[in-house]
Structure 1
Amino acid sequence: MTAPVVDVHAHLWTHAYLDLLAESGVTGLDMYRALGATDEPGDLAQRFAQMGEAGIDLQILSATPLVPHLDDAAAASAAARHVNDEYARLVERHPDRFRAFLALPLPHISDALAVLDRLADEAFVGVALTTDILGAALTDPAFDPLFAALDARSATVLIHPVGADARSPLIAQRPMRWAVGAPIEDTIAMADLLLTGHLARFPHMKVIGTHLGGALPMLLPRMRAQQPWEAPDAPEAPDVAARRAWFDTVTHVNPAALRAAAEVLGADRLMLGTDYPFQSAGELLADVAQHDAVLTAAQTRTVRAGNADELFDLRWTGGAGAGA
């Protein structure tokens, strides 16, 4: 059976889940309500049509950045259970269209570890985290038990921006939260994982950084040059560590960025992502189509299907072109 073309970076939030987050004190949800990325029939029909036009068979859904990272442990656990149950039902209804990343009730480690048992459900192919957890870096020792458990399960971890202005007032006070702040969050989180040796400490965990890892394709050579004196305790060079991770291809139609990522990170470390619905319609189609213009035919097959086939046990029953 031909491996499916997989979109590893796609979002879906139901109105019920957004209501639950609002009850827990989460603000700024109006944008998400207006995006048309719910499980309502009209929204799904539009999504499936765009997937078909782009040649995408399967989307792996994540609730990021609206994962249940909440101070209140009970509220976080309730929200995680709610959204994970929603995703499981969606995959059951549309097994040849969807899989999902688990949402974890963080920073509550014992509760999050209990949720990992759901990785045995074929609906879930990994977990989704944000680039920091309520302001704490992913490399904070408090999260070591979680990463140890993920490593023991050889789990895949999608790391997505929080949308918190990279915790900088220089961004928060200006209209650049998502255009600039989000890729900076990608860059900081992935660079931290590389320079601290986190990926070497947990070598069986498979990390996917979103949006090409932010500025990593531009900064990785600079990081290597400056690492000996700036981060002398790093256990391996950052470009070596980067070969332990994967990165999705969301560029908002920037062929130069995709070309740089293929050259610096390696096309064998790239995976198709659309960021649906933040990229949709013509922009989504153009972002996917640029693979053919920038990459070789073999690289394009690897980016669209091969790497996902290697990372995930999809147990996909569709045939070639099922997403069309």
Structure 2
Amino acid sequence: MIIDAHAHFVPQSFLDEVLSRPGLFPSVKAASGRDGVRFTFANQDAKRPVPNGMSDVERRRKGLAARGIDKQVVAGWLDVFGYDIPADEGLEWSRFFNSHLLKAAASTPFLVPLATVPMQSGKLAARALEEALDQGFHGAMIGTQPKGQGGVLDDPELEPFWEVASARKAAIFIHPTFGARDDRLKAYGLVSAVGRVTDTTMAVARLLYSGHLVRYPGVNLIISHGGAALPVLFGRLRRSFATAPAQNADPALGFHRLYFDSVVYDAATIRFIAEQAGADHILMGTDEPFVIAEPEPVKLIDACSFGAADRQAILGGTAARLFGIS
């Protein structure tokens, strides 16, 4: 079985209900325009429009079949997660989105759904994760910056979430947000090309140094976009710890428990990640339906010239195990 372990999906039924019931969530506004549906949370700036293809099931089915992909692990889109709204409302918003995603996946067998949870509250995120796993979700996708821009995943207030994720041995997929506080990124498309890499790198480096993967050993943590810069920086992280450990945990203890998707667009880079983390810690992904998505993920893995066992693990074996796909 060949599995695309990184993709995004927003059910059309979700968009239709939000647009037809304004005021359903007091802190959420949705507007439909020529470029798609835009969400506004807590009177902040409007998010990017939901991209074309995000809800098109038939187009997705044909595209996967043409490349020989059997299953696609799908989460929502970070711009609809709503971490900026009040926590109680965020819980209901997550439940609302999850209900639509679960129904869509039930009628579309090739989709494997990942839940969203309200990361603005560790207690409520834990509750939402428990509910989602009980309902049949295969894990959850979370953003790098809970509570809006500047939030950190090692925030002590989020410990209830990590406790549940570890106890349930949940697959948690970490994905960057789109915001950019650094003005140097606001040109040349650097928010996407570079900003997402630095965002993920900082978020997960904090988890490594804080010892999260030691304290919460049951969590299966998947890092998007090849782990950002973490595989390249692994030696520097270890050296920094050795020379100035302070109160930090040994980053090597957590690094070797991380999993990485293959969305790096380069065979040599994938081989390097395999050298650092092991081929059995890489999951093939596309990042569909975005323009930047990897068009030929199976061919990219084959270009790495892995042995049969490693190839099978990357193309689907590891994803099937982590996400519980039969």
TM-score with structure 2 length normalisation? 0.85
Assess, with a 3 A threshold, how the Cα gap between structure 1 residues 234 and 92 changes in structure 2: closer, same or farther: same
Task: Give deviations 1:190-238, integer Å, cap 9, x for gaps.
Answer: 21111221101100011000011101121112222222124443332x2
User: What is the aligned-residue identity percentage?
Assistant: 27
Structure 1 residues 296 and 28: CA distance shift in structure 2, 3 A? farther
- The list of structure 1 runs, each at least 4 consecutive aligned residues, that deviate by more than 6 angstroms after superposition, is none
Residue 46 of structure 1: CA displacement? 1.3
Counterpart pick for 2:275 among 246, 252, 263: 263
Q: Quick check: 179-188 or 73-82, which moved more?
A: 73-82
**Quick one: structure 1 residues 44 and 182, their matched pair in 2 at CA, closer, same or farther if it must change by over 3 Å?**
same
Task: Describe the shift of the 1:310–1:30 C-alpha distance in structure 2 as closer, same or farther (beyond 3 A).
Answer: closer
Distance 1:109 1:46 in 2: 37
Gaps of 5+ in 2: 20-27, 30-38
CA distance in structure 1 between the aligned counterparts of 2:170 and 2:300, rounded to whole angstroms:
30
Corresponding position: 1:109 with 2:122:
yes
- Provide the residue aligned with 2:285 in structure 1: 273
Residues 1:231 and 1:273: Cα distance change in structure 2 (over 3 Å): farther
Alpha-carbon distance in 2 for matches of 1:240, 1:108: 27
> Equivalents in 2 of 1:30, 1:142: separation in Å?
29
Q: What is the identity, as a one-letter code, of the residue corresponding to 1:168?
A: D
Q: CA RMSD in A?
A: 2.2
How many residues align structurally? 300
Query: Could you say if the C-alpha distance between residues 272 and 121 of structure 1 is closer, same or farther in structure 2, counting changes exceeding 3 Å?
Result: same
Answer yes or no: is 1:305 the counterpart of 2:320. no
Native 8 Å contact 2:121 2:158 kept in 1: no
Give a deviation string over 1:106-153, Cα, whole Å, max 9, x none. 31333323222221122x111111112122110011111111111111
The answer to whether the Cα contact below 8 Å between 2:284 and 2:297 also exists between their aligned partners in 1 is no
Q: Are 1:90 and 2:104 counterparts?
A: yes
Q: Secondary structure at the match of 1:103?
A: coil
> CA separation in 2, counterparts of 1:190 and 1:106?
15
Q: Distance in 2 between matches of 1:277 and 1:62?
A: 12
Partners of 1:75 and 1:228 in 2: how far apart?
Answer: 44
Match of 2:5 in 1: 8
SS in 1 for 2:278: helix
- 2:135 pairs with one of 121, 125, 129: 121
Aligned pair 1:146/2:171, yes or no? Answer: no
Q: 1:79 aligns with which of 93, 112, 131?
A: 93
Structure 1 segments unaligned to the other structure (5+ residues): 317-324
2:247 is paired with a residue whose SS is: coil
CA distance in 2, matches of 1:74, 1:23: 17
Matched, 1:197 2:208: no
Residue of structure 2 in register with 1:55 after alignment = 68
TM normalised by structure 1 equals: 0.85
One-letter identity of the residue aligned with 1:82: F
1:162 aligns with 2:177: yes
Verify the 8 A CA contact 1:156 1:208 in the aligned structure 2.
yes
Equivalents in 2 of 1:51, 1:234: separation in Å?
43
Tell me the residue number matched to 2:22. Answer: none
